[in-house]
């Protein structure tokens, strides 16, 4: 049982739109802040429920403080910092989310260290504090975390904050990530976490800590070593369609990123894939007549194993039932060809992030 690994775009796209704020607000009213399942702990494995919002966001509850205050966060393998909005944030985004009321926590401790993070859809500036943080039955005392002082770009986003699960070396705040602190405290038996992401907005998505529940995948886990310890990035052999290589022709890097909805890559290669599948980009007119069943699968070959992504997985529908491609261009251009394998890929493949062995495990999700 093992786990973990992921990388580089501090500039990540947390989708600004759920096709309009009204739709998002209505959705959240219908699914009021409640989580039907409770975090399950057994045999040193903590299974924590995640809520699937329109196949775009997977969020879970955590609490901070004494007595506990509840927040909805994205469990994000692409970053390393935990942050939530603060009481002293006056940005419009903060007023639309739950804010941490530090004066109501008896275990709160403030520092004078400030930091900022830039994402694809917005930025946050904050200050480092310490308090008790709980993920289900996992408790990290005196956990450093960020309190946002200003936020921009997160106004229409359904979650309050972000819980980063990447390596400590890419933390913007310099604080020890909660997974590392739990590991160091002995709260987690094995230095591993894993994700099962549900399809079609269904319930049942989970993040698990301390081991792997084999009921969530079929066959055996295929292990992929990280390119280097310190980021959840692996080597990808190629991307192909109908047995022809269409991208990553000489090998490339793949970031395994639970905090990104789509599959992202360099603009020229993404444009070529859009042409090959005849799809329309989200920014252009939607293609209502797209016959999804007639489109070919796209295969991502990693460590010699083929991971097929069929058209029904990479063609998504919006609220009007229009189809659009989940392939998007990255907002940064690293020197080496880099693809981000987001939730579109991870819905198909159960993913294990193994910090103990610096590798990622993949298997077909149930």
CB of 2 within 8 A of CB of 357? yes
| H/E element, 340 | strand 338-341
Residue for token digits 């990290």?
A: 140
| Torsion angle, alpha carbons of 156, 159, 51, 347, to 10 | 80
Q: Beta partners for 26?
A: none
Q: Is 200 marked active-site?
A: no
Instruction: For 273-314, give the secondary structure using H, E and C.
Output: HHHHHCCCCCCCCCECCCCHHHCCCEEEEECCEEEEECHHHH
Cis preceding linkage at 67, omega within 30? yes
In the three-class reduction of DSSP (H, G, I as helix; E, B as strand; rest coil), residue 82 is classed as strand
Sign of CA dihedral 290, 296, 302, 305: positive
The one catalytic residue in 257, 343, 354, 358 is 257
| 55 catalytic residue (yes or no) | no
Determine which one of 76, 81, 131, 160 is catalytic.
76
Whole-angstrom Cα distance, residue 216 to residue 363?
9
Q: Are 190 and 268 in contact (CB under 8 A)?
A: no
Q: Is 272 exposed, middle or buried (0-12, 13-18, 19+ CB in 10 A)?
A: middle
45 and 80 Cβ atoms separated by less than 8 Å: no
Active site residues: 76, 257
């Amino acid at each position: 049982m093992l786990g973990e690994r992921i990388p580089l775009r501090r500039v990540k796209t947390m989708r600004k739109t759920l096709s309009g704020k009204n739709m998002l607000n209505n959705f959240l009213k219908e699914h009021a802040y409640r989580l039907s399942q409770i975090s399950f702990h057994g045999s040193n494995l903590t299974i924590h429920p995640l809520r699937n919002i329109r196949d775009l966001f997977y969020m879970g509850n955590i609490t901070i403080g004494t007595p506990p205050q509840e927040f909805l966060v994205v469990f994000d393998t692409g970053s390393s910092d935990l942050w939530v909005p603060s009481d002293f944030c006056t940005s419009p985004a903060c007023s639309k989310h739950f804010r941490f009321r530090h004066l109501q926590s008896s275990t709160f401790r403030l520092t004078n260290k400030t930091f900022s993070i830039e994402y694809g859809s917005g930025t946050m500036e904050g200050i480092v504090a310490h308090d008790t943080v709980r993920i289900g039955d996992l408790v990290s005392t005196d956990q450093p975390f960020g309190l946002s002082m200003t936020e921009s770009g997160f106004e229409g986003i359904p979650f309050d904050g972000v819980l980063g699960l990447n390596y400590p070396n890419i933390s913007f705040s310099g604080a020890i990530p909660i997974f590392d602190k739990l590991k160091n405290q002995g709260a987690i038996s094995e230095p591993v976490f894993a994700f099962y992401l549900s399809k079609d907005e269904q319930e049942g998505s989970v993040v698990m800590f301390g081991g792997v529940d084999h009921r969530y995948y079929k066959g055996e886990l295929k292990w992929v070593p990280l390119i280097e310890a310190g980021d959840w990035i692996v080597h990808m052999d190629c991307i192909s369609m109908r047995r022809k290589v269409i991208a990553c022709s000489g090998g490339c890097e793949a970031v395994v990123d639970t905090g990104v909805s789509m599959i992202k890559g360099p603009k020229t290669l993404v444009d070529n894939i859009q042409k090959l599948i005849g799809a329309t980009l989200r920014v252009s007119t939607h293609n209502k007549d797209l016959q999804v069943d007639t489109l070919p699968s796209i295969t991502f070959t990693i460590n010699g194993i083929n991971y097929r992504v069929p058209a029904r997985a990479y063609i998504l529908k919006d609220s009007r039932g229009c189809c659009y491609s989940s392939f998007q261009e990255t907002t940064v251009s690293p020197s080496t060809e880099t693809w981000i394998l987001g939730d579109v890929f991870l819905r198909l493949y159960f993913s294990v992030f193994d910090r103990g062995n610096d590798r990622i495990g993949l298997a077909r999700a149930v």
